Amino acid sequence: MITIDEEDLQEFGQWPFSDKLLAQLLNKVKAQEPRVIGLNLFRNLPVETGKSELEEIYRTTPNLIGAKRTVGIEIAPPKILEESGQVGFSDVIADPDGTIRRALVSINIQGTDLAENSLSTQLALTFLEKDGILPEEVQKSRWWSLFDKRKYFRLGKSVFAQLSRNDGGYVRVDHGGFQLLLNYRIDPYNFDMISMRNFMEGNIPPRLVRDVNQPILKDRLVLIGVVSDSSGARLYTPFSKNKSEDNKGSTMPGVFVHAHATSQLVRAAKDGRPLLRVWPQEAEWFWLFGWAIAGAGIRWYLLNIETLNRRVLTQNACLGGVLAAGAIALVGFGYSSFLIGFWVPMVSAYAAFFLAAMVMGSYHNHELQKLATLDGLTQIANRRYFEEYLYKIWWKCEREKRPISLIMCDIDHFKLYNDHYGHQLGDRCLQQVVASIQQTLRTSDLMARYGGEEFVIILPKTDKGGACHVANRICQTVAELQLKHDKSPTSPHITVSCGVSSVEAHSQLSPVELIASADKALYVAKAEGRNRTSFRPYQNLPPLV
């Protein structure tokens, strides 16, 4: 690499360099007999003197590759180089966070089936051509083409696969053209470099000399570009630690990104250097699903250890340890995979592991809450939850100055039913009666099991008339079930009796007395012959003697 840094700009006293100075540089490089020369500078317009000398260099240097820009504001390459096909576009593609993780190999020419190569691709192909290494399209079987729409090409010892929109950690990424995951060198600046001023003055570092009998650039790939902070593009890469706008030290000059992309193609073709590969989409789904299963399974195991259930702090500490161990294992596996050329989704896998563990904890708590608030047989609220809910809804109706009603229901002669038909049919009868009653209620109403065959229903914002209507409908709905009850003195089928009470909630009144009033109304309904509804207004309980 021949770099143009800040000291070069100060040395030559101008930017951009004149055509004459650039021609002198290219002439000096050409004399060193490199295999290919990459000029990562835009020279679409003449600069000062030396136009004819520079054009002569363009005409007489078949291994010189120029640069152009195709995305956004287009910048044309030198016309002579374009006519001879010695051009590559220098556009790069950034991820949403501004980081360059992908390399563009080629893009389609709009309106045609043809493609044009990037600068790095053109440099690599020109360099490899002397070794007889040419790109070959890989033909897929018709069957495989149904599942894999990507394009492949072989270059030397490696097969390159086109990046698809969901490869690796990407989700619906723009995958236009032929893109590759960019496999940077471990050392981002591990290239043979010399500054322009030293090269022009002949100050060649000894480390660049491979054979004293040959020019230092003999048969090498030379890339010329700007690395100055004040000129040229600087890009964020995976090596960037701080991505603030003012921190240029964490960015990489664009010419180095092209150097990495070119090196990746050349070394993969000649040496078989591993490319960054990704798993098939189906394998990634299995990977994520496996981590989710692991997170849920481990959390379930911890929740079911009896000794841990009694010690919340110990259980939370164990959970934290498991989550930390999962993160360490995932990072270790991901890094090991990266070293052998695989990009494994780690963030999404850990998210699946973490979220599954949290969801399992929430599910376990939900199940415990159900056990604490629901009746096991009928799956409606139990008496404990009923009493909590009654006070909450009482306070709400009190604030809104709205009435609240209560219905107490009892299955008529249910003990006789149990004794005659057995407890299994008795349980089934309870479930059917509860299901039919719930069909008559609103979503805002609450039904709870109050005793063996007694049920209570809270009707918020419901007055006497509405509550009595609901109670009568309950009696009718249960009777329509036609559940046979041969031992009932009241009816040959299952029936219910309902006691109703209603009041406008007030701070001076008590929900307990509303329950007592509904209970007394139920006893009246039973005394009057059952299978009916009785209303009793709210009444204060007599004082204890």
Looking at the annotation, which residues are catalytic? Answer: 453
Please spell the DSSP secondary structure of 141-201, one letter per residue.
PHHHHTT----EEEETTEEEEPPPTTSTT-SS----SEEEE----SSTT-S--EEHHHHHH
The gap from C-alpha 7 to its chain's centroid, in whole angstroms, comes to 46
Q: Answer yes or no: are the C-beta atoms of 87 and 81 closer than 8 Å.
A: yes
Q: How far apart are CA 64 and CA 199, in angstroms?
A: 18
Nearest to 150 by CA among 168, 117, 177: 177
Q: How far apart are CA 285 and CA 348, in angstroms?
A: 10
Q: Answer yes or no: are the C-beta atoms of 129 and 286 closer than 8 Å.
A: no
Please spell the DSSP secondary structure of 304-368, one letter per residue.
T-HHHHT-HHHHHHHHHHHHHHHHHHHHHHHHHHHHTTEE---HHHHHHHHHHHHHHHHHHHHHH
Contacts of 513 (CB under 8 A, 6+ apart): 538, 539, 540, 541
Tokens 């990266």 belong to 338
Q: How far apart are CA 255 and CA 185, in angstroms?
A: 14
Q: How far apart are CA 349 and CA 225, in angstroms?
A: 40
Q: Answer yes or no: are the C-beta atoms of 419 and 485 closer than 8 Å.
A: no
Tokens 């956004």 belong to 72
Q: Which two tokens stand for residue 95?
A: 């991820």
Q: How far apart are CA 439 and CA 47, in angstroms?
A: 87
Widest distance between CA atoms in the chain:
123
Q: Which residues pair with 117 in a beta bridge?
A: 106
Q: 3-state secondary structure string, 71-99?
A: CCCCECCCHHHHHCCCEEECCCECCCCCE
Amino acid letter, residue 168 = G
54 by DSSP, 3-state: which?
A: helix
Q: Answer yes or no: are the C-beta atoms of 51 and 85 closer than 8 Å.
A: no
Length of the chain in terms of residues written: 545
Q: Which residues pair with 36 in a beta bridge?
A: 221
Exposure of 465 in the CB half-sphere (CA atoms within 13 A): 0
CA distances from 527 to 476, 490, 491 (A): 19, 12, 15
